Structure 1
Amino acid sequence: MFYQLYEMNHAAMAPFRATADAMRLAYRHPFNPLSHTVVGRTLAAGFEVFERVTRRYGKPEFGLPTTTVNGQTVTVSEEIVWQKPFCNLIHFRRDLPAGAEPGPRILIVAPMSGHYATLLRGTVEALMQGADVYITDWIDARMVPVTDGGFDLDDYIDYVIEMIHHLGADTHVVAVCQPSVPVLAAVAVMEAKDDPLYPSSMTLMGGPIDTRSNPTAVNELAQNKPLEWFKDNVIMNVPWPQPGFMRAVYPGFLQLSGFMSMNLDRHMIAHKDFYMHLVKNDGDSAEKHRDFYDEYLAVMDLTAEFYLQTVDTVFIKHALPKGEMLHRGKLVDTKAIRNVALLTVEGENDDISGVGQTRAAQTICPNIPDDKRMHYLQPDVGHYGVFNGSRFRKEIAPRIIAFATQQSRGAKQSPVRRVIKGGKSA
């Protein structure tokens, strides 16, 4: 019922948003004398802030038409190479210059945690300068008809395995945040079955492998509430007229409200600053605000079964690090991983996945040889900085590409520096 009320409220606000947008355009029009005054800019700024904080943000575009390879600018085209009801696999095909090596084939598994895969635009942009990049583009659950069936954590693991099979041998998997657990489980399942198409390496970044280590506020919330609380309070049915009408979901707007409440003062200050930038006609600063929040406020629904199974398995029972996680009724044995190289990456100031939670993968995968494992702790970055921003581009992305290149099948092996923090060797 709450979801229906949310939709009704959004619909009721539509005339006011339209009016505010029209007034914003009127007070910013160059032929309007007031647009050149503080009064006009103040009114236009107020109308724009109102329109932006009350709108629903659609799925953004990746918008990566070019990249740089060996110092040359080349064109990039997106193509869907694998498709299922809840996910598309996108390939960023580069028009490589003559003689250029494509680099390692990297499958980025984007988080299914409320935001679209475009949140990793910067991740893709940095990695495709030296690698052949694919990314999982998860579908908003409210857009999937109930006739297409359900989607849970077991299905997620199966999807990952199918995508690795589709890409073939010598694929390198990079899991960003939430998918660290299902990716590690998928690799363990493949290794236990002696699957010849196992990936050459997996990189786990800021993921909740073991949330008992250095728990954050997010972890404590899940730990302090029984699973029934989540079922009763955050699971809702998609309202009409959405394609997924009557599908049980964890709505994206609830996830967004949780994200916002964690740093509410910061978001309020950001919107106040945005208003002042508009009044002062500081277009560059205002545009940066728009770019960030166009992405941050675009959210998607998750299927109820996937959300509840993830909360129970990862955050309440800690099943994977305890050796108790099941996939299709069979135990997931991380000790079976022996051929797939492992790189774990953490951010020093991560307040979502605390320091040590991702590194725990190194402990529960004891049979990976030392020359196939490495851990890196990036100083002075939070959760977002683990996969985006200047430090990611300069410090983390080159390490991921170098690790994948070194661990490619047929590559000449040499001892791996087990980097712990800031480039220092362990």
Structure 2
Amino acid sequence: MPIGEFGGAPPLVAEGSPALTTPMYWMYEMAHASLNPARAVTDATKILFQNPLNPWSHTEFGKSIAAGCEVFERTTRRYGKPEWGLDDTEVNGIRTPIEIRSIWEKPFCRLLHFDRKLTRPLRSSQPRVLIVAPMSGHYATLLRGTVEAFLPTHEVYITDWADARMVPLTEGRFDLDDYVDYVIEMLHLLGGNMHVIAVCQPSVPVVAAVSVMEAERDPFVPLSMTLMGGPIDTRRNPTAVNNLAQERGIGWFRAHVITKVPFPHPGVMRDVYPGFLQLNGFISMNFDRHMDAHKNLFKDLVKGDGDMADKHRDFYDEYLAVMDLTAEYYLQTVDTVFVKHALPKGEMTHRGKLVDPSKVTRVALMTVEGENDDISGLGQTEATHALCSSIPDHRRVHYVQKGVGHYGVFNGSRFKSEIVPRISDFMTSAANVKPKLAFAAE
């Protein structure tokens, strides 16, 4: 499956993409709406040729017609926000139901709690974990497997970022500074005794948030932060994504990929980097693999291979569900992280104040990278250790997972069997070993 594009940086538009103006988004909406009659006809045709009472449904011709109709419908529809689909988990050998509740909400994010309805008390307390999901085009459900892996042994919370086209203009703007503020507010709400995990893109704002909290001697700093495949210093082992941002510069992105949300979306006239353009960039990165995947879907449907067809549907239901990003957040992130390299250079600011990771002393640090990561290259996340120079050596860990790419850093069988146990052990160690360093007198 083509999974290398997930996560990482806010998605960059592919080489050669056309300049985008406000009417382009309107034209996209009109084109999508114009296909509704065709989709209705193909749905009806598919039902007709799948009806067992139709003698053609048992022939290769009939199966090919039905398969072609499904492929057409799936490649032209708009995919909505996926469901979590996490109804229960196993805690200490007992199947335990889960209630997903929003416990904090602002215009651009909700904080979700995966509340496990335990039927008996735990023998010992389990780590409380805030997972900061990427705000890079896909919904937080991209981390369904990440959440599922931690649920049996952790109390899990996750950021659920909003689609910018659904946020009215009256709610104001949202940029990288606001992102950092949101993370700090969530940690305050959760009240301490927390561990934070940043998956890919959020690594930079999470380091910034923890650095700001440490500089202010905030009592609600997390016990530990784990950064997974994050673009902390993209000058190290730069990838194609990193090079594109560096070569183009922020002016090019402002001129070519920013547009306004059209009517009738609630966020009408908000400046955004639109989801459909992000999707174009995603697919262009591995166009041949996506074409092969849909050809294989057609063949599997004709053969009647339901298992393979379901795997395709599950993957692309998530992959093709994208959301708009606010223009100010997208441009500030590209400029700060990928063009100016402000954090590793010691030049990043938050609300006008310098972000200084060397102030971090009470928070244990773990970084995780994938050996074959083609989005955040090897060494980019590890660079955090040099920045957080005041953390004692016994409270820091770096781990490289062999044989996985970017997606494998936070999902898949090796993530569950090899990465999650290491993170869990690290959290336990961070909670039990209290730092003895005090702040230096100012």
Residue 367 of structure 1 aligns with which residue? 390
Shift, 1:18, TM fit: 1.4
Residue 60 of structure 1 aligns with which residue? 82
Instruction: Choose which of 414, 421, 425 in structure 2 pairs with 1:391.
Output: 414
Secondary structure at the residue paired with 1:366?
coil
Shift, 1:7, TM fit: 0.7
Instruction: Choose which of 312, 335, 343 in structure 1 pairs with 2:358.
Output: 335
TM-score after normalising by structure 2: 0.92
Instruction: Choose which of 319, 328, 349 in structure 1 pairs with 2:342.
Output: 319
Residue 224 of structure 1 aligns with which residue? 247
CA contact (8 A) 1:406 1:413 kept: no
Residue 99 of structure 1 aligns with which residue? 121
- Structure 2: distance between partners of 1:382 and 1:146: 38
Residue 241 of structure 1 aligns with which residue? 264
What aligned pairs does 1:25-44 form with structure 2 within 5 A after superposition?
A: 25-44=47-66
TM-score after normalising by structure 1: 0.95
Instruction: Choose which of 142, 147, 157 in structure 2 pairs with 1:119.
Output: 142
Shift, 1:412, TM fit: 5.1
Secondary structure at the residue paired with 1:99?
coil
Instruction: Choose which of 319, 322, 329 in structure 2 pairs with 1:296.
Output: 319
Shift, 1:413, TM fit: 6.8
Matched, 1:158 2:181: yes
- Structure 2: distance between partners of 1:172 and 1:371: 17
Shift, 1:231, TM fit: 0.7
Shift, 1:99, TM fit: 3.0
Secondary structure at the residue paired with 1:265?
helix
- Structure 1: distance between partners of 2:433 and 2:183: 28
5+ unaligned residues in a row in structure 2: which ranges? 1-22, 436-442
- Structure 2: distance between partners of 1:208 and 1:349: 15
Secondary structure at the residue paired with 1:259?
helix
Shift, 1:102, TM fit: 4.8
Matched, 1:130 2:129: no
Figure out how many residues of one structure are paired with residues of the other and give that number.
412
- Structure 2: distance between partners of 1:246 and 1:309: 20
Shift, 1:366, TM fit: 0.7
Residue 103 of structure 2 aligns with which residue? 81
Residue 167 of structure 2 aligns with which residue? 144
User: Residues 412, 312 of structure 1: CA spacing in aligned structure 2 closer, same or farther, 3 A cutoff?
Assistant: closer
Residue 424 of structure 1 aligns with which residue? none
Provide Cα deviations, 1:135-157, integer angstroms capped at 9, x if missing partner: 00000000000000000000000
Residue 19 of structure 1 aligns with which residue? 41
Secondary structure at the residue paired with 2:226?
strand
CA contact (8 A) 1:102 1:132 kept: no
Residue 212 of structure 1 aligns with which residue? 235
Instruction: Choose which of 251, 255, 259 in structure 1 pairs with 2:282.
Output: 259
- Structure 2: distance between partners of 1:261 and 1:348: 23
RMSD over aligned CA atoms reads 1.1
Shift, 1:170, TM fit: 1.1
Residue 309 of structure 2 aligns with which residue? 286
- Structure 2: distance between partners of 1:203 and 1:254: 31
State the one-letter code of the partner of 2:154: A
Secondary structure at the residue paired with 2:35?
helix
- Structure 2: distance between partners of 1:42 and 1:202: 51
Shift, 1:346, TM fit: 0.4
User: Residues 311, 412 of structure 1: CA spacing in aligned structure 2 closer, same or farther, 3 A cutoff?
Assistant: closer
State the one-letter code of the partner of 2:92: N
Residue 381 of structure 2 aligns with which residue? 358
Secondary structure at the residue paired with 1:338?
coil
Instruction: Choose which of 179, 182, 186 in structure 1 pairs with 2:202.
Output: 179
Shift, 1:37, TM fit: 1.7
Percent identity, aligned pairs only, is: 65
- Structure 2: distance between partners of 1:26 and 1:205: 48
User: Residues 257, 102 of structure 1: CA spacing in aligned structure 2 closer, same or farther, 3 A cutoff?
Assistant: farther
Provide Cα deviations, 1:246-305, integer angstroms capped at 9, x if missing partner: 000000111111111111111111111111000000000000000000000000000000
5+ unaligned residues in a row in structure 1: which ranges? 415-426
Provide Cα deviations, 1:40-84, integer angstroms capped at 9, x if missing partner: 111000000000000110000101001011122111110000000
- Structure 2: distance between partners of 1:374 and 1:290: 38
Matched, 1:196 2:219: yes
Residue 46 of structure 1 aligns with which residue? 68
- Structure 2: distance between partners of 1:199 and 1:412: 14
